[in-house]
Structure 1
């Protein structure tokens, strides 16, 4: 999820907005004056394009400002309500598959300024167990998705494939053993049902040694995140904590699965994200 479409959309919104305002200030009054002096039949005979070109309105002004409304609607929805993303990797298996298209609630963690991501209206705080989308701390142009494990002040420990939060091991129940043929990582894994503070979800554990085991204390204003594919996820164990200012929203729904360009999209994975 490294394509900064939000920035491109913001620029398009500003550019088309400037042309829209310029047209309304400079050319719209002139067009209205011309139309007011035209006979009714003549006004009806004018096509929409011809009407827009009255008062010698430049064609490029007409073209650019015509996109403003639709871009403004898309920009507003994606910035403040809901934003779509596609899952590019297997770090959140089995919860999210490669090629899943998801929806992210942008209002869940506060109303934020587009691009800058600064909170202007606080709402609720992220909760342990949420599947969150955030700006990658080492490169904010890239969006990451992981499960929120540690809140500010929490003590996190991960050793021997056991997750401990504030001294309490997170319970997990064995569900199945997947062979290589059923795992995109091309290795056998055990599937567990994990209960993280009341949020139940499935996780993968491989049979390999898990690198970057250790203990962490989450600092104020930061969060600790991990992928559900515990042995195949680059997360807070590797690159550190996620600042609160990097949070973008909570992933809540899978609406489409499309894993390859030449494949047929499907709705087999549709549903709420736990």
Structure 2
């Protein structure tokens, strides 16, 4: 009697190629980004996982940087993910201006081409001031620090005199914080101007460390928060890839939802502004 042995089935090169293609397309079209800092609060919280539409503005060769097709234009109010050319760090910020725009900041007012961004004061407390801003159909909250406010009010009116003594405490304060309350920027061709919603806890286009962001450096547009995923902590180390707590599922980020508004205004010390 003849026994026929079954041949072992190995994964073929075509199977590997197909799997690689599927993964590459998925990685090139959609991704998520972990929020490590407070620079976009209250819109985005630390530990949020933001779903990113990677082909919103351009279609790239899978796993490469080469752009093969342009899609939508980057718009003011979009939340974008981009890679810093120098440090290669990944940032997430809100677009305030596109090429050719003139951006001005006058204390808590932000103007684009001479027109103030629509803004409504919501509340104020001993620590911060919160506004609801709107760019087009995108609505969001921004906050400013009262500590910087008080220091800037006292020194900015006498800026020239204060800066004549660069070693003074006031001069050092202005040198550090002036861009957070005043300035004028003209966005060059092929670039965008970005800011964090947490205006005094964000390194963005107001500062030389980031400056104007090249459009080709933008990796995608944030779509929504998949969930807030608290990372596993081992000692003083956070393991972001291992979440242990989940909340804020499927959260909208281009409008101010009632839950976010309630979280911002629930402190007893805060005075709501109607």
TM-score (norm 1): 0.70
Instruction: Determine if the alignment matches structure 1 residue 230 to structure 2 residue 199.
Output: yes
Cα displacement (A) at 1:171: 2.1
In 2, the alpha carbon distance for the partners of 1:175 and 1:232 equals 19
Report whether the alignment pairs 1:249 with 2:242.
no
CA-based RMSD of the aligned residues comes to 2.5
Q: CA deviation at 1:260?
A: 2.9
Question: 2:36 aligned with 1:88, yes or no?
Answer: yes
Deviation at 1:259, TM superposition (A): 3.1
Task: Determine the C-alpha separation between the residues in 2 that align with 1:71 and 1:120.
Answer: 19
Q: Deviations over 1:149-207 (max 9, x none)?
A: 0010000011212111100111211223467xxxxxxxx22221101233211111111
Query: For 2:133, what is the secondary structure of its paired residue?
Result: strand
Q: By how many angstroms is 1:76 displaced?
A: 1.5
Q: How many residues align?
A: 212
Q: 1:259 aligns with which of 210, 213, 230?
A: 230
Alignment equivalent of 2:106, drawn from 132, 146, 159: 159
Which blocks of at least 5 consecutive residues in structure 1 are unaligned? 1-38, 53-61, 180-187
Alignment of 1:190 onto 2:132: no
How much has 1:114 moved relative to structure 2? 4.4
Counterpart of 1:206? 145
The structure in which a higher percent of residues are strand is 2
In the superposition, relative to structure 1, how do residues 167 and 230 fare at CA in structure 2: closer, same or farther (>3 Å)?
same
d(CA) in 2 for partners of 1:267, 1:169: 35
Q: Distance in 1 between matches of 2:215 and 2:32?
A: 21
Q: Give 2:4's aligned residue.
A: 42
Deviations 1:40-80 (A, max 9, x none): x736x34xxx333xxxxxxxxx699976544432221111x
Contact 1:85 1:103 in 2 (8 A): yes
2:151 matched to which residue of 1? none
TM-score (norm 2): 0.70
- Mapped to 2, the partners of 1:264 and 1:211 lie a distance apart of 40
Question: Helix, strand or coil for the counterpart of 2:81?
Answer: strand
Q: Which runs of 5+ in 2 are unaligned?
A: 149-176, 234-242, 255-274
**In 2 relative to 1, CA 190–269 (structure 1 residues): closer, same or farther, beyond 3 Å?**
farther
Q: How does 1:96-107 map to 2 (within 5 A)?
A: 96-107=44-55
Highest RCO, 1 vs 2 (Cα 8 Å, sep ≥ 6): 2
Gap change, CA 1:237 and 1:143, over 3 Å in 2 = same
Query: How many Å apart are 1:264 and its aligned residue?
Result: 3.2
Aligned residue runs from structure 1 range 10-159, under 5 A: 42=4, 45-46=6-7, 50-52=8-10, 69-79=18-28, 81-114=29-62, 116-139=64-87, 141-159=88-106
- Give the whole-Å Cα distance in 2 for the aligned partners of 1:74 and 1:215: 44
Please report how far the alpha carbon of residue 269 of structure 1 lies from its aligned counterpart in structure 2 after TM superposition.
4.8
* Deviation of the 1:136 alpha carbon: 1.4
Q: Which has the higher helix share?
A: 1
In 2, Cα distance between equivalents of 1:92 and 1:64: 45
